[in-house]
Chain A
Amino acid sequence: MRCPTPTLMEDYAEGLLSESEARNLENHFGRCAVCRRAVEDRKRWLDAFRSLPPLELPAGFARRVTEAAFPPPRRRRRLLPALATGLASLSLIAMILIATGVCSLPSLMTGSGRLLWRGLQVSASLGAKVVTLLAALFKILAQILRLAWEGIETLTAAVPPHVHVLALVSLAVLTGFFLFGYRKYFVRR
């Protein structure tokens, strides 16, 4: 028998050959020391390939994947039920107060009306203060913008018109880069 091809030797080393094919090769290996050493070397490589250490996964990985696949149901809005419960509780308290004679219905209505009116007054005053503050901030911003505009006017008066055009073109290019991205043209990934 001629010396077997490397693929045949590899098949033998992997145990893919039939019994008779394997026996034929073994007979040859008994006579040919070169092939015997080569097939032993192939077997050693295969053992080494198979014994590469496994990479360890962190604990709880499967749980994490499952949670990502089955996200918890979104919490339903509870504002309306809470509001309804609050109103119902208030009505109940009012009924108890009236039934036990602590206060009468007209006095209860007057009292709650006053409370509501006071609340409205406080909210209106707070709103007015917020508006005043916003107006003051707006005035400051307008002053800053006016100063900036005057500065630009002074600067542009001092430079010739073609520099204006150059500055405007540069500004347009920079804006284009900023909006459409320049990395894909200049930065190699």
Chain B
Amino acid sequence: MCEDRELVSRTLQGDRNAFEMLVLRHQQPLFNYLGRLVGERETAMDFTQEVFLRAFAKLESFRPDYKFTTWLYRIASNYVIDHWRKKKIPCLSLDRPSGPDGKSGRCEAIDPSPPVAAGLEKAELKKRIERGLERLTPELRELFVLRHVSGFSYEEIAEIKRQPAGTVKSRVFQAKETLRRMMEERS
């Protein structure tokens, strides 16, 4: 099986089959990622196509010592952030503290919450998570999706978002805690 780097270099030489193979390889995870972020199937499909076309247009700037997936998701992430900005959905920077009092969202106290997940059926849990995801802020949703839907490591997410891995990890944790809190409130 060809590596992404090889497919990229063949695409740059004008091999359309190589590009189609690249798309086939990455389309499903990328669509899942964008779908979970924008929440609408048709929009997610258009975004997926647009991200691939942008990647194609910028393919010459891809450095083979980078991972293609990371590079592709960085393009996707920037595209979605642009979309949110145009739609005037407030976007916080990862550098800024998240709490209204200026403190970060880190939670180091002992976990006092009762086990909620145990009392719910798997299907019900999934449904609640999907609904909860829509209520998360765009930044937290994106980091959560990168980690727990797309399955990237914290280091890979840090590379995609160009942020320190520690910051990413604490924001993903915050996203999960927010989601859990929402589920607990509902139950």
Q: Does any Cβ of B come within 8 Å of A65's Cβ?
A: yes
CA distance A128 to B73 in the complex (A): 66
Binary contact track B133-174/A, C-beta < 8 Å → 1, others 0: 000000000001000110100000000000000000010010
CA distance A70 to B22 in the complex (A): 14
Number of interface residues of B (CB under 8 A): 45
- Contact A5 B115, CB 8 Å, known A50-B148, A55-B32: no
Q: Is the CB of A38 within 8 A of B113?
A: yes
By DSSP majority rule, is chain B's interface helix, strand, loop, or mixed?
A: helix
Q: Is the CB of B53 within 8 A of A69?
A: yes
Please classify how large the interface on chain A is, using the bins under 10, 10 to 19, 20 to 34, 35 or more: 20 to 34
Q: Is the CB of B125 within 8 A of A48?
A: yes
Q: Is the CB of A3 within 8 A of B110?
A: yes
Q: Is the CB of B118 within 8 A of A62?
A: no
CA distance A52 to B125 in the complex (A): 10
Name B117's contact: one of A6, A10, A44, A57 (CB within 8 Å). A44
Residue of A37, A50, A55 with most chain B CB atoms under a 10 A cut-off: A55
A residues contacting B by CB (< 8 A) are 3, 5-7, 9-10, 35, 37-38, 40-41, 44-46, 48-55, 57-58, 61-66, 68-70
8 nearest A-B residue pairs (beta carbon): A41-B115, A44-B117, A49-B148, A62-B23, A48-B125, A55-B35, A66-B20, A6-B111
Known pairs A5-B108, A5-B110, A69-B52; list 18 more (Cβ under 8 Å).
A5-B109, A45-B125, A46-B148, A48-B117, A48-B125, A49-B149, A50-B149, A51-B126, A54-B32, A57-B31, A61-B23, A61-B27, A62-B24, A65-B49, A65-B53, A66-B16, A66-B20, A70-B19
